[in-house]
């Protein structure tokens, strides 16, 4: 069976991410991932996707309340074991999230996310 365009795009994406744990493209309303997954069997990306959809929606509402002209670049969440970087994919109704180890270079992650954004949007 041929891979879907989103699966192929995200596979290429993760090869460029240092300290990669997981990536998903998620519908903001439903909280359901349409592509991605984790290389760590202990990290259930579908659970993270669902809960972070609520976080991203709240974040966007807060930005709107602060200043309606603000545009989101990304949202960074850090823990003692990993960092999660989230980019809202324009007005598509989706976000792209990537989880990386704490020793990963977040600058590179941001650059790679921007590099792949148009390909991801086209594959939705």
Predicted confidence (pLDDT) per residue in 52-100, tens digit: 999 999 999 999 999 999 989 999 999 999 999 999 999 999 999 999 9
CA pair distance 119, 112, nearest whole angstrom: 12
Domain span including residue 12: 5-123
CA pair distance 23, 35, nearest whole angstrom: 8
**Number of folded domains in the chain?**
1
Domain of residue 116, CATH code: 3.30.450.30
CA pair distance 59, 104, nearest whole angstrom: 24
Angstrom distances, CA of residue 115 to CA of 10, 87, 108, 111: 12, 12, 10, 6
**pTM of this structure:** 0.92
CA pair distance 83, 98, nearest whole angstrom: 8
């Amino acid at each position: 069976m041929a891979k879907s365009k989103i699966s192929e795009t995200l596979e290429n994406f993760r090869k460029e991410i240092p300290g990669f744990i997981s990536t998903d493209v998620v519908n903001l309303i439903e909280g359901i991932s349409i592509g991605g997954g984790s290389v760590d069997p202990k990290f259930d990306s579908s659970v993270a996707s669902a809960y972070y959809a609520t976080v991203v929606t709240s974040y966007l509402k807060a930005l709107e309340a602060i200043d309606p002209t603000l545009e989101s670049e990304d949202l960074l969440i850090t823990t003692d074991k990993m960092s999660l970087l989230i980019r809202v994919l324009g007005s598509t109704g989706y976000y792209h999230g990537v989880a990386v180890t704490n020793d990963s270079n977040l600058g590179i992650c941001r650059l790679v996310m921007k590099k792949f954004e148009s390909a991801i949007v086209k594959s939705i």
